[in-house]
Structure 1
Amino acid sequence: MRMFRSLALGALTAALALPALAADYVQAPGSSLAFAGKYQGETFAGTFPGFRTTVSFDPADLASGKLAVTIPVATATTQNADYDTEMRGDAFFDASKFAQATYTATGFRDLGNGQYAADGTLELRGVRKPVTLTFTWTNGARPLLSGRATVRRLDFGVGGGEWADTGTIPNEIAVSTRVYLTPAP
């Protein structure tokens, strides 16, 4: 019995000494990445079908967290053919030259009340700028990362030239995401 207790105590001590390991996840079906803004005072909204997300998240070890999102900009759609053609063209996403955008973050911050922040980098049209994603994390069989960010489009050259007038299209575009996750293989 004494030997069993010693082995059990040794195993427990070893387990407690291990650092917390973040769980690795990949995006699951049902996820969405959306954007919204205004054009001449009218609200428009769209999505990026085909985006892909990987996350490493442990609320007990936020510093080791990671987030990577790949966004195929040619899939951006508002369900309005005129908007979509213009948006994918040279003045906006220039999808023929810059096929994808990426967002990466290493480490997260606890904002309290179940809110977190990822201070990451968005690369869009060959320009890299910091963008903060604030999000909530819901545990479960299918964890959910639900977040929001604001992207200043002109910082990335999106909507330049005749479209640079912020009276026509404001500079700030709202981005929202709901990413359902599954453990990485």
Structure 2
Amino acid sequence: MKSFLGSGLASGLALALLAGTPALAQATRDPAQIQSGTYAVDPGHTQVGWRVSHMGFSNYAGGFSDVSGSLTLDPKNPAASKLSIKVPVASVTTTSAKLTGELKGDQWLDAGKYPDMTFVSTKVAPAGKDHAKVTGDLTLHGVTKPVTLDVTLVGAGANPLSKKYTVGFEATGTLKRSEFGVKTYVPLIGDELHLTIAGAFERQD
């Protein structure tokens, strides 16, 4: 009898716990199923990472946060889609508090004078079912130059927690920081800056 009661209690507890657990997200990677419309960056779940060579010994990485921006998405006509991203330069972070402070200063990113890094798309070229080449104007350190991002669809669907329809992409690209006026320690510290954007966008009603 005790065994039966114990088993029944455990089963009931398990069912109660499952009932209180949000359903898993039903995300799709099929562009044909994605909702068109205007989307806004979900800043809490969007990350911008960067990586440079450190004296040829290692690839040193850091990131930015508090990203904002918008996406106009038309899955039936991807070339008509538009992307705009703004990244506060002062949000830069590394594993070294000293280096993080230096990067914000006028020898590097000069966040006081140039507070934002922005990217505004000028062309979207589909490159397969769930890939695209997105070219745009990237502004950093007061300089604007064209940069092309390789963009991959991660997934889209209703967020089971917020209930908001969300679409996510990963974008990668490379730029030469010296071309944007950030020349400190080149070539000792790598000129090539590798960017990775893990972007989540919520559909606006």
> TM-score of the superposition, structure 1-length normalised?
0.81
SS in 2 for 1:128: strand
Superposition map of 1:3-42 within 5 A: 22-28=36-42, 29-40=44-55, 41-42=57-58
Rg larger in structure: 2
Q: Indicate the residue corresponding to 1:5 in structure 2.
A: none
Q: Indicate the residue corresponding to 1:144 in structure 2.
A: 168
Superposition map of 1:105-184 within 5 A: 105-137=121-153, 138-141=155-158, 142-160=166-184, 163=185, 165-166=186-187, 168-184=188-204
Assess if the C-alpha contact under 8 Å between 1:65 and 1:106 holds in 2: no
The unaligned stretches of length 5 or more in structure 1 are 1-20
Q: Quote how far apart the aligned CAs of 1:94 are.
A: 0.8
Distance 2:174 2:180 in 1: 13
Which deviates the most, 50-59 or 95-104? 50-59
Output the amino acid matched with 1:35. W
Q: Quote how far apart the aligned CAs of 1:101 are.
A: 1.2
Distance 2:82 2:181 in 1: 27
Q: Quote how far apart the aligned CAs of 1:103 are.
A: 0.5
Q: Indicate the residue corresponding to 1:50 in structure 2.
A: 66
How many residue pairs get aligned? The number is 161
Distance 2:72 2:60 in 1: 32
Q: Quote how far apart the aligned CAs of 1:149 are.
A: 0.7
Q: Quote how far apart the aligned CAs of 1:32 are.
A: 0.8
Q: Quote how far apart the aligned CAs of 1:80 are.
A: 0.9
- Runs of 4+ aligned residues of structure 1 deviating over 4 Å after TM superposition are none
Two-structure CA RMSD over aligned residues (Å): 1.6
Q: Could you report, residue by residue, the CA deviation over 1:125-145 in whole angstroms, capped at 9, with x for unpaired residues?
A: 111100111111223222111
Q: Quote how far apart the aligned CAs of 1:152 are.
A: 1.0
The unaligned stretches of length 5 or more in structure 2 are 1-34, 159-165
SS in 1 for 2:101: helix
Distance 2:36 2:125 in 1: 14
Q: Indicate the residue corresponding to 2:83 in structure 1.
A: 67
Q: Could you report, residue by residue, the CA deviation over 1:88-137 in whole angstroms, capped at 9, with x for unpaired residues?
A: 11121111111111110034111125210110010111111001111112
Q: Indicate the residue corresponding to 1:16 in structure 2.
A: none
Change (3 A) 1:135 1:45: same
Distance 1:63 1:127 in 2: 26
- Give the fraction of aligned pairs with identical amino acids, expressed as a percent: 27
Distance 1:88 1:77 in 2: 9
Q: Indicate the residue corresponding to 1:8 in structure 2.
A: none
Superposition map of 1:95-114 within 5 A: 95-114=111-130
Q: Could you report, residue by residue, the CA deviation over 1:18-55 in whole angstroms, capped at 9, with x for unpaired residues?
A: xxx94211112321111111222232111111111211
Output the amino acid matched with 1:27. V
> TM-score of the superposition, structure 2-length normalised?
0.73
Q: Indicate the residue corresponding to 2:11 in structure 1.
A: none
